[in-house]
Amino acid sequence: MKDADPMQLRLLAAEAVAREAGALARRRFLDSSFKVAFKGPQDYLTEVDGETEELIAARLHAAFPHDGFIGEETAGRPIREGGAVWVVDPIDGTSNFARGVPHFCVSIACVLEGAIEVGVIYDPVRDELFAARRGGGAFLNGAPIKPSEATSLANSAVEVGWNMRAGVSKYLDLLRRVALWGAAPFRTGSGALGIAYVAAGRRDGFVEHHINAWDCLAAVLIVKEAGGYVSDFLAGEGLAKGNPIIACAPGIKDALVSAVEIEGIVL
């Protein structure tokens, strides 16, 4: 029998683990008995983030004991030179989750030698699974997806991600630029879903001054594989420290890049 393809196994595992973790998060969201705390100003943390990450880490470790692990909530496992690394956000959209807003997801990516090989995002409230493997296309619940055919910012919907890391004036400038060039600005509180929605043509673009790898890596691959444009997120120290991001439909790439003028972004 031919050996199983190791990345295909990781894609299948990520899909199964994202569904299981999503079911746990959904159950806890619906019974709303969890405690909510803050890691810093406006930076929510619920006990479900930790529970969900533990489940994901345990399942992936059991299946791939030599892989590294970077999670939003834990220090993770050692990363081997040249080995595969899982990059996980157990609940992206924690501020929504904590406040009873049903817009959050589990995000799981696998990186090998500087390339995102697998990206899976599961929204357990809508039962939507976005998945991609490098070179294999992007899918929503098994059906191929593609970005919108937008060619002008004037008819575009662009999510402007917000966090306390980049600072208020940078955020306001980004928002101003998006609106000034005629796009409709949105903010929904989940970077992973916001970027995945670009892949599925539900939004035309997503921009943010700083986002962490666990929030966006899976979505970055999903957009690329769907045929969209994404800036080089892994440039420099993107994996460890995060980077700015632009993700969009290919027809508005030049217009959006020049409208937002994000400093330090690698295109």
The least CB distance from residue 214 to ligand IPD, in Å, is: 7
- Between 92 and 251, name the residue whose CB sits nearer to ligand IPD: 92
- Between 85 and 217, name the residue whose CB sits nearer to ligand IPD: 217
The least CB distance from residue 165 to ligand IPD, in Å, is: 7
Alpha-carbon dihedral sign for residues 13, 17, 20, 22: negative
The least CB distance from residue 202 to ligand IPD, in Å, is: 15
Beta bridge partners of 139: 131, 144
Residue 29 CB coordination number (10 Å): 21
- Between 68 and 242, name the residue whose CB sits nearer to ligand IPD: 242
Nearest to 265 by CA among 170, 194, 184, 181: 170
Residue 163 CB coordination number (10 Å): 17
The rounded distance, in Å, linking the Cα atoms of 116 and 110 is 6
Q: Which residues bind ligand IPD (CB under 6 A)?
A: 72, 89, 92-95, 161-163, 189-191, 208, 211, 215
- Between 42 and 141, name the residue whose CB sits nearer to ligand IPD: 42
Q: Report residue 229: phi and psi, to 5°.
A: -105, 140
- Between 147 and 161, name the residue whose CB sits nearer to ligand IPD: 161
The least CB distance from residue 178 to ligand IPD, in Å, is: 14
Please name the residues in contact with 89: beta carbons below 8 A apart, sequence gap of 6 or more: 71, 72, 106, 107, 192, 214, 215
**Strand, helix or coil for residue 222:** helix
The least CB distance from residue 82 to ligand IPD, in Å, is: 29
